[in-house]
Amino acid sequence: MDRRIRRLGIGLVVLFALLFAQLSYVQVIAADDIKAQPANARRQIIAEYRVERGPILSADGELLAHSVRNQERRSELLFRRVYPDGPLYAGLTGYYSRIYGRAELEQAANPFLSGDAPELAVSTFTDLILGRERKGGAVFTTIRSDLQEAAALALGDLPGAVVAVEPETGDVLALVANPSYDPNSISSGTDEDITEAWDAISTDPEQPLISRAKDELYLPGSTGKLITASAALENGVDPVTDQWPNPRVLDLPQTTNTLENFGGSLCKGGSQTVSMAEAFQESCNVTFAEIGLDIGAKEMSEQALAYGFCPTDPPTQVECEEPTIPFVLPWANGRFPEPSYFADRQPQLAFSAIGLDNVLTNPLHMALIAAAIANDGVMMQPRLITEVRDPTGKPVREFSEEQYGQPISDESAKEMRAMMLSVTQGGTASSAFAGFPIAVAGKTGTATNGENRPPNAWFTAFAPAGPGDEARIAVAVIVLDGGNLGNEATGGQVSAPIARQVIDAYL
């Protein structure tokens, strides 16, 4: 009988051994796969919200986003995310929603904010050993909160965007877009509140989740002449001595189409010929179309590519999968057609030379182009994060400034600067900058915007831009659908004053 009892014992030990095997399967071998099941989302969220997620700060120490302890009794979620000035920074911070996921910096910097990044392993391990609640790292951005506020104030309620970058470093100083949304409404609250807020925001015809500053593409209009002028200078055109004919209407090759100056006017009072510098100051379409046709499709496309435009072939819709200029946040950088597109489309080349047809860009990219001209032709990558610090304040990761390339020579940059200065001194933006003490180099743009809609008003600039000045800020402004001037809107009237306020606030 004892022998059988002993056998029974062995049998029971075998049964328990099966349990041990199953436990090691569930808890170790297959644990990651099991945890990754979609049905497990709730538990992952609760685990995520146990961490005191690190703050997102501006360069001057303002909190753009931070986590505070949830006061709701018995909530499984220990912390909630707060955006003290939500709508102002929504395009940068994004949101942190337990139902709808993360966006923008909350997504891009998530490993740092959550403490999962290897740089923070020591810190989170210390928390674990000491039994402390885990904290994430602090992300320091390049944003200047006072400039961001000034930009938002200058833009007011107009739909559009303002982007400011530091030419020498590529630091993004301000990035404002209208309309915006309040990330608080989809980041904390009850499930019902969050769902309701999300439905409102995501079905809004204005699409506030898509930032006008960086996610959408627009025709640059005359600000696109920066590309044409750069290409001309790089290909040996002298801005003052080389002359082009000055007709009221330009007959385009291969077609009966024509091209006119803004309002059908004559450039430079109707003189026989006009130089590129003169045409730039007055933003003459006819002249720039002629310049574009003279330079040729290949050179124009190459110049655009050097500025970080994504080469596309509009008829076949081949487009860049990712931005050619790296940025920590998702964004849509500019598009410029490939030379092959222009092969039998000379009129399109003429329109592209004045920022129309299939040339597309957005405010962030325009600001980067202005910054490159300001920075002696050297284009910097846009930088948004400078460093990450652990919860004790010790820097664990620094992000250095990165050069993107040199789209134009130092010499061409100087000539571009002189031409852009003339725009605010007697050119299309002169009324906006009348009496402004700082030398500003800029370019206006008024881009057609579909058949029945008022134009989009552009202005891009950098300052100070006097001879020998080191430019400290480059700005791009877009006001959509004519802003408050409707069909009468021009970049000089609508957008240049906004840029002026932003420059004034910074310098």
403 is a contact residue toward another protein (CB under 8 A): no
Query: Residues 47-76: x/- map of binding to another protein (CB under 8 A)?
Result: x--x-----------------------x-x
Residue 22 or 448 with smaller CB distance to another protein: 22
Provide the minimum distance between the beta carbon of 6 and another protein in the complex, in angstroms, as a whole number. 7
The H or E element that residue 285 is part of is helix 285-295
Question: Tokens representing 326?
Answer: 């790296």
6 is a contact residue toward another protein (CB under 8 A): yes
38 is a contact residue toward another protein (CB under 8 A): yes
Provide the minimum distance between the beta carbon of 29 and another protein in the complex, in angstroms, as a whole number. 10
24 is a contact residue toward another protein (CB under 8 A): yes
Active site residue 222: yes
298 is a contact residue toward another protein (CB under 8 A): no
The angle subtended at Cα 316 by Cα 310 and Cα 322, nearest 5°, is 30
The angle subtended at Cα 61 by Cα 166 and Cα 58, nearest 5°, is 45
- For 443-467, give the DSSP string: EEEEE--STTSPPEEEEEEEE--ST
Provide the minimum distance between the beta carbon of 40 and another protein in the complex, in angstroms, as a whole number. 5
Whether 210 and 217 have beta carbons less than 8 Å apart is answered as no
Q: What is the dihedral of CA 357, 363, 369, 370, to 10 degrees?
A: 120
Q: Which of 67, 123, 222, 352 is catalytic?
A: 222
Provide the minimum distance between the beta carbon of 311 and another protein in the complex, in angstroms, as a whole number. 42
Query: Residues 129-148: x/- map of binding to another protein (CB under 8 A)?
Result: --x-----------------
DSSP label at residue 493: I
CA 209 to the chain's CA centroid = 13
Residues 413 and 306: their CA atoms lie apart, in Å, by 14
Residue 124 or 145 with smaller CB distance to another protein: 124
Whether 477 and 162 have beta carbons less than 8 Å apart is answered as yes
46 is a contact residue toward another protein (CB under 8 A): yes
Residue 50 or 268 with smaller CB distance to another protein: 50
Nearest to 480 by CA among 503, 498, 461: 498
1 is a contact residue toward another protein (CB under 8 A): yes
40 is a contact residue toward another protein (CB under 8 A): yes
121 is a contact residue toward another protein (CB under 8 A): no
Residue 4 or 236 with smaller CB distance to another protein: 4
Whether 457 and 495 have beta carbons less than 8 Å apart is answered as yes
Q: Which of 27, 202, 431, 448 binds another protein (CB under 8 A)?
A: 27
Residue 6 or 248 with smaller CB distance to another protein: 6
- For 354-397, give the DSSP string: TT-TT-BB-HHHHHHHHHHHHTTTPEEPPB-EEEEE-TTS-EEE
Residues 323 and 327: their CA atoms lie apart, in Å, by 8
Q: Which residues bind another protein (CB under 8 A)?
A: 1-6, 8-9, 12-13, 15-16, 18-20, 22-24, 26-28, 30-32, 34-35, 37-40, 42-43, 46-47, 50, 74, 76, 131
Active site residues: 222
